[in-house]
Amino acid sequence: PSIGIFFFLPYILKSGILDVVKRCALPESSDIDSTGACLSMLLLKLIGNKRLSHIGAYDQEPGFGSFAGLNVLPKQTYMNTYSCRCSETQLMELQKDIISLLQKSYPAFYKSDFINLDFHSIPHYGEKSQMEKVWCGARGKSMKGANTIVAQDSQSNMLIYTKADILRREESNEIKKFVNYWKTIKGDVNETLVFDCKLTTYNILDELSDDHVKFITLRKRNATILKDTVLIPKKEWKKIYLNIPKRKHKRISVHEKTVKLRGCKNTFRQIIIKDHGRLNPTFIVTNNEKLPLKDVLKVYAKRWRVENKLAEMISFFNLNAPFITAYDSHSF
């Protein structure tokens, strides 16, 4: 049963990721170097094991230790506490160096004009959890867990950024942290960022515009703008056909105008959508003046890809099972 994991080794070695792990000076012991520790954690995810605490079940499995360059796999205590010895700075540096490497080695996967961003919550079931309550969509309720943000290349679906343990008071600023991170890798943010209205605030949208960062997002509905929408004459609405596979409502009505959001000094394009199968109109806001209206709609309509990619990785890597049982969950 252990032979299958060795098919991953040629890809791991060719990618050069192990050299990055060595440079980032992750924690080591006298018997286990950082490469062995990281490969041991990766091994359990590759074979579909949910938690590092189950590593003891494989200590007699022939070949598993060899995969990580060890005689046998590390003990349960060592694996469970490894992330606690890693600082957030170390892990973010590791991520930055890996993405920089992959971008040079496999440029075709990082050529999209759009980047999808979204929050994802990882439930925590500890009896005395110190984590904040977050909305867990999979459970349909608020519960204690780790709030994470992910960024994805819209064309290849490759994840280019993740960060965990985001506090509620810091959520709105996470997109600015991603912008700074992406600038350290590419020098500038030429892509258009695509995200939900819950990701940040109007003031941050204003700052992104000042920084010449393009975005497409939703505007939160309220009674005033819904009332104003009802008053728009029928002749001012435009019919558009969206040829998107599996989409039920392809013929929609749209209305575009320039708006200034509360507390903002910049103006934005607002696109109102109705006749799209929802009870209330949808309001899209963007500062990308060059993107044709139909393309704006298509780009946002495909934002669900980041959710599909997350579901795929949660299923394959068991990402909803944190690498450790302690409060720290940077390992996501």
pLDDT in tens, 205-236: 999 999 999 999 999 999 999 999 999 999 99
Residue 266 lies in a domain: yes
pLDDT of residue 117: 93
Residue 208 lies in a domain: no
In what helix (H) or strand (E) does residue 195 lie, and over which residues does it extend? Answer: none
Same structural domain, 156 and 76: no
Same structural domain, 103 and 190: yes
Domain end (from 68, 86, 104): 86
Split at pLDDT 50, 70, 90, the class of 60 is: confident
**% pLDDT > 70, the chain:** 90
Residue 303 lies in a domain: no
Residue 210 lies in a domain: no
**Domain tally, the chain:** 3
Residue 202 lies in a domain: no
Same structural domain, 7 and 73: yes
Please say if the pLDDT value at position 100 is more than 80: yes
Same structural domain, 191 and 94: yes
State the average pLDDT over residues 119-146: 78
Same structural domain, 224 and 168: no
114-123 and 282-286 strand pairing: unpaired
Same structural domain, 97 and 157: yes
Please say if the pLDDT value at position 326 is more than 90: no
pTM: 0.86
Q: HSE on the CB side for 109, CA within 13 Å?
A: 13
pLDDT in tens, 182-198: 999 999 999 999 999 98
pLDDT in tens, 231-280: 999 999 999 998 877 777 788 999 999 999 999 999 999 999 999 888 89
Residues 97, 23 contacting (CB under 8 angstroms): yes
Host domain of residue 238: 215-296
Same structural domain, 82 and 93: no
Residue 81 lies in a domain: yes
* Tokens of residue 250, six digits: 């392809």
Same structural domain, 52 and 104: no
Residue 321 lies in a domain: no
Residue 271 lies in a domain: yes
Same structural domain, 146 and 225: no
Same structural domain, 148 and 97: yes
133-136 and 141-153 strand pairing: antiparallel
Q: HSE on the CB side for 268, CA within 13 Å?
A: 30
Same structural domain, 153 and 227: no
DSSP letter for 173, please.
G
CB contact set of 185 (below 8 Å; sequence gap of 6+):
96, 99, 100, 103
Same structural domain, 186 and 237: no
